[in-house]
Chains A and B, each alone.
Chain A
Amino acid sequence: MGDVILTMKGIDKSFPGVHALDHVDLEVRKGEVHALMGENGAGKSTLMKVLTGIYHKDSGTITYEGKEVEFSNPREAQDAGIVIVHQELNMMGHLTVAQNIFIGREYMKGKLIDDKRMNEEARKLFDQLGIDIDPTETMSRLTVGKQQMCEIAKAISHEAKVIIFDEPSAALTEAEIEELFKIIRDLRAKQMGIVYISHRMDEIKVITDRVTVMRDGGYVGTLITKDCTKDDIINMMVGRVIYEDPKTESAVSPDAPVVLKVEHLNAGRMVKDVSFELRKGEILGFSGLMGAGRTETARALFGADPKQSGDIYVNGKKVDIKSPQDAVKCGIGYLSEDRKRFGIVVDKTVAENSTMASLEYYMKGLFINKKKENEAAQKYVDLLKTKTPGVDQLVVNLSGGNQQKVVIAKWLIRNCDILIFDEPTRGIDVGAKSEIYQLMSELAAEGKSIIMISSEMTEILRMSDRIVVMCEGRKTGELSIEEATQERIMHAATLRE
Chain B
Amino acid sequence: MEKIKQNAIVKKIGFNRLVLICVWILLYILFAVLTPIMRPNNSFVSYARIISIMRYACFMGFLSLGVTFVIATGGIDFSIGPVMFCAALISGYQLTSRDWPLALCLVLCILVGTIFGIINGLLVTYGGLPSFITSMASMMIAKGVGSVFTKTQSVSWPQSTAENGWYRNLLSVQAGGIEIPVGLLILFAGAAVCAVILNKTMAGRYILCIGSNREAVRLSGVNTKKWETLAYIICGTLAGVAAIFYVAKNTIVQPGLGDTFNNDAIAGCVMGGTSMTGGVASIGGTLIGVLIIALLQEGILAMGYQSHYQYIITGIIVLVVVYADLRSRRRRN
What is A's interface to B at a CB cutoff of 8 Å? 302, 304, 323-325, 327-329, 334, 336, 341-348, 352, 356-357, 359-360, 363, 366-368, 370, 396, 410, 414
Contact = CB atoms under 8 A, between A and B. Distances in A.
B220 interface: yes
Contacts of A327: 221
Contacts of A328: 220-221
Interface stretch (B32-40, B120-128, B205-213): B205-213
26 contacts: A302-B219, A304-B218, A324-B220, A324-B222, A325-B222, A325-B223, A328-B220, A328-B221, A329-B221, A342-B216, A346-B213, A347-B212, A348-B279, A352-B205, A352-B209, A356-B209, A356-B216, A356-B217, A356-B220, A357-B220, A357-B222, A359-B206, A360-B202, A363-B202, A367-B200, A370-B200
A367 B201 CA distance: 5
B179 interface: no
A368 B200 contact: yes
Contacts of A342: 215-216, 219
Given A341-B216, A345-B212, A356 B222 contact: yes
Contacts of A359: 202, 205-206
A341 B214 CA distance: 9
Contacts of A346: 212-213
Given A366-B201, A368-B200, A368-B202, A345 B221 contact: no
A327 B218 CA distance: 11
B221 A348 contact: no
Contact of B213 (A302, A344, A367): A344
Contacts of A345: 209, 212-213, 216-217, 279
Given A342-B216, A346-B212, 10 more contacts: A324-B218, A325-B223, A328-B221, A336-B219, A341-B215, A348-B212, A352-B205, A359-B202, A367-B200, A368-B205
B213 A324 contact: no
Contact of A334 (B196, B219, B333): B219
Contacts of B333: 396
B332 interface: yes
Interface string B8-43: 000000000000000000000000000000000000
B257 interface: no
B280 interface: yes
A21 to B, nearest CB: 28
A347 B280 contact: yes
Contact of B219 (A304, A329, A347, A367): A304
B128 to A, nearest CB: 14
Scoring B213, B216, B219 by chain A CB atoms within 10 A of each residue's CB, the highest score goes to B219
Nearest to B214: A345
A357 B222 CA distance: 7
Contacts of B196: 367
A344 B202 contact: no
Contacts of B220: 324, 328, 356-357, 410
A325 B222 CA distance: 6
Interface of B: 196, 200-202, 205-206, 208-209, 212-213, 215-223, 279-280, 332-333
Given A325-B221, A325-B222, A367-B201, A341 B213 contact: yes
B139 to A, nearest CB: 29
A396 B215 contact: no
Contacts of B279: 345, 347-348
Nearest to A362: B202
A420 B222 CA distance: 17
Contacts of B201: 366-368
A226 B192 CA distance: 78
A344 B216 contact: yes
A347 B212 CA distance: 7
A182 to B, nearest CB: 42
A343 B215 CA distance: 8
A253 B317 CA distance: 68
A334 B221 CA distance: 10
Scoring A341, A352, A367 by chain B CB atoms within 10 A of each residue's CB, the highest score goes to A367
A460 B136 CA distance: 52
A396 B221 contact: no
A325 B206 CA distance: 14
Contacts of A323: 218
Contacts of A363: 202
A207 to B, nearest CB: 39
Contacts of A347: 212, 279-280
A45 to B, nearest CB: 25
Nearest to B215: A342
Contacts of A410: 220
A455 B49 CA distance: 69
B230 to A, nearest CB: 13
Given A366-B201, A368-B200, A368-B202, A324 B209 contact: no
A343 B212 CA distance: 12
Contacts of A302: 219
Report the 5 A-B pairs with minimum CB-CB distance, sorted nearest first. A328-B221, A357-B220, A356-B220, A345-B213, A345-B212
A357 B218 CA distance: 9
A367 B197 CA distance: 8
